[in-house]
Structure 1
């Protein structure tokens, strides 16, 4: 990929040629990220808020960035990304505990995307479009997006705008106890049909960043979102005070409004203090505060470590109740502890290598980063994640 394009050397026009930009398609960089995630807990929503939450996921993404200049000297950047995840879930295997394996006990998710961005190197302004696709056993999704960046004349103020739409189709998989005669399981090889429902999501992001001085940068972020369609996970059981059982039922629309702020302070040549705060609210009654700090420390000219800590406090939705605590007269109900009142902590560190002669002496392997994080929350859910990031330039 590094030797695909070549050209003969021609005599350039006389005069200043420092601004000359080749219009050949140019390789910018490639990134490979691989992560292993494992969690455990005892509040599975599949079995009504009790039972194992064991899950493992191996996620891999690869992206390739190419660019070329047009006749007007404007830059066109093409970003191709492919993601492949494989997970196993003990709780999802309880959709039908009488079978050897449910449809969602393990699965592979594939999600390619492509982005084109047109930019002006002199002003820093740009705009672009994104297309994406995602599929796993019970849904498929088509996505489209638009991105816009505008900078002030002195380039100390930057405005970013993003707009995304995801059009999803979900298979309506039900717990085995709630299936009517002839209703399928959603498993491969099961010829019986299952219903399907749409779920559409529309997200916007407004970001305004400002360079205060050479040491301090701040950013304000507002990310409104709207969802419509099947927002409940129908194979998640809910148990009521009268002993009855129903599939999770939630409103078919949801408005979300996260408002966040970032503050980065450069403390000399060796330390950076990165802070983030976000307030979240939605029309389901969830309110949440998230605060995060990360302190990259430069140990040498090419090695740095980045310890981090994030705290989250959440007031749960009005529709949540624990196992067997739902009122039979309510219209909407869930026992998914992700939507409950909780607090959580996530902490860990990363180490980054970027030697001038390349990682392991390979000039093109520009950077290697390892990160580890441990997550725990008040519902007794714990998880660990380790990730590897390789950058090739």
Structure 2
């Protein structure tokens, strides 16, 4: 499994795909005729190239290379139709394909030419159906998803509800999701019992499989305060149970001994955030976000983010952004060679340590009225770049390209 700063990659893919979906929510059919045939609304293609480096690999006990590259691609198609009651049925199919290479994961078996996790491809399709009452704005939806990688497979499902006030100034969003995962328990070569498999293709020796199940809810309340200011409160509790430790990550103790990572088999998380959007003028918007995070492992974190979209022309906008995060690490963390042999739980994964980080960059968006490159159906093109810096020494860069066709 890759040691990837997933929050950076998720930020990009989430911002760009959610931006396309948000525009869809604001678009209604104002004509007298509503087709009951299935109609292609839009197609979105998002590609991101991510690279990182550092010297605190959890695979080798908190020291060693964290070099990694990831090429992530998502392709989604949105279709819709109206029923006899005038309700809009929207079908969103998304297919994601990521390919990564990881020097740190290759150290599971340092003597091999290439271990099972030195590179891999992850495939993750999903399907969402949403029924929207166009007159009221209220909606109900169902989502199903699947993900597969060399050491795990995941089945997901969820529901989403939207309720809009009569004056359209207040909206409540609710989501429930569940992910049922099954892990291969891959161990470092020197800590494998006799006859235990490596997890590599072609290795027929037996190895263990363990479950990891995740359940989450999301509550969002957005309010138009006035013509310039909008606010949103977000609460996202979640619970995980099963194999939460990454067994091929090593831990070293003060007595010179070595063990595989061990963490509790359950974890509660509670992020609470608030988002404020201020329309400063016709060409400027100030978007701010703050989140407080806490969990049952003792992690506490504050995240503050700002981005300022600037409309340069009627079809070109530029958005600089900056995010700062400060985290108090889990009680189970200790650096290389500093764990107490009497501890029950232990990790040297610096993602769970005390740290602070910055993420800065910019986004440019083109949406000509006659289409990009004169192609009417090529609705928009976005190019985004960000640089991530962490106090532990980890640095990463990501470039994302998003294309929308309508």
Bin the TM-score by the shorter chain.
over 0.9
Candidates 21, 33, 46, aligned match of 1:20:
33
In 2, the alpha carbon distance for the partners of 1:22 and 1:340 equals 55
RMSD of aligned alpha carbons: 0.7
Corresponding position of 1:129: 142
- Pick aligned residue for 1:110 from 123, 136, 149: 123
The number of residue pairs the alignment matches comes to: 377
Does residue 1:392 correspond to 2:398, yes or no? no
Cα deviation, 1:335-377, whole Å, max 9, x if unaligned, reads 0000000000000000000000000111100000000000000
Q: Secondary structure at the match of 2:106?
A: helix
Query: How many angstroms apart in 1 are the aligned matches of 2:31 and 2:115?
Result: 63
Query: Cα deviations across residues 251-295 of structure 1 (Å, max 9, x unaligned)?
Result: 000000000000000011000000000000001000000000000
Paired residue for 1:70? 83
CA distance in 1, matches of 2:204, 2:311: 59
Structure 1 equivalent of residue 259 of structure 2: 246
Residue of structure 1 in register with 2:218 after alignment: 205
- Of residues 287-296 and 188-197 in structure 1, the stretch that sits farther from structure 2 once superposed is 188-197
* Matches for 1:1-393 after TM superposition, within 5 Å: 18-393=31-406
Q: Quick one: distance in 2 between partners of 1:194 and 1:304?
A: 53
Q: Distance in 2 between matches of 1:203 and 1:283?
A: 15
Using the alignment, how far apart are the partners of 1:333 and 1:153 within structure 2?
A: 52
Separation of aligned partners in 2, 1:117 and 1:136: 28
* Aligned-partner Cα distance in 1 for 2:32–2:195: 70
The structure where helix makes up a greater share of residues is 2
For 1:194 and 1:90, the matched residues in 2 are separated by 23
Deviation at 1:18, TM superposition (A): 4.4
SS at match of 1:93: helix
Q: Deviations over 1:232-258 (max 9, x none)?
A: 000000000000000000000000000
CA positional deviation for 1:19: 2.5
Which ranges of structure 1 fall in alignment gaps of 5 or more residues?
A: 1-16
What's the secondary structure of 1:368's corresponding residue? strand
CA displacement at 1:20 relative to structure 2: 2.3
Structure 2 unaligned regions, length at least 5: 1-29
Segments of 4+ moved more than 3 angstroms = none
Distance in 2 separating the partners of 1:175 and 1:122: 58
TM-score, with length taken from structure 1: 0.95
Look at both structures and tell me which one has the larger radius of gyration over its CA atoms.
1
The 1-side partners of 2:168 and 2:84 are apart by 25
Structure 2 counterpart SS, 1:307? strand
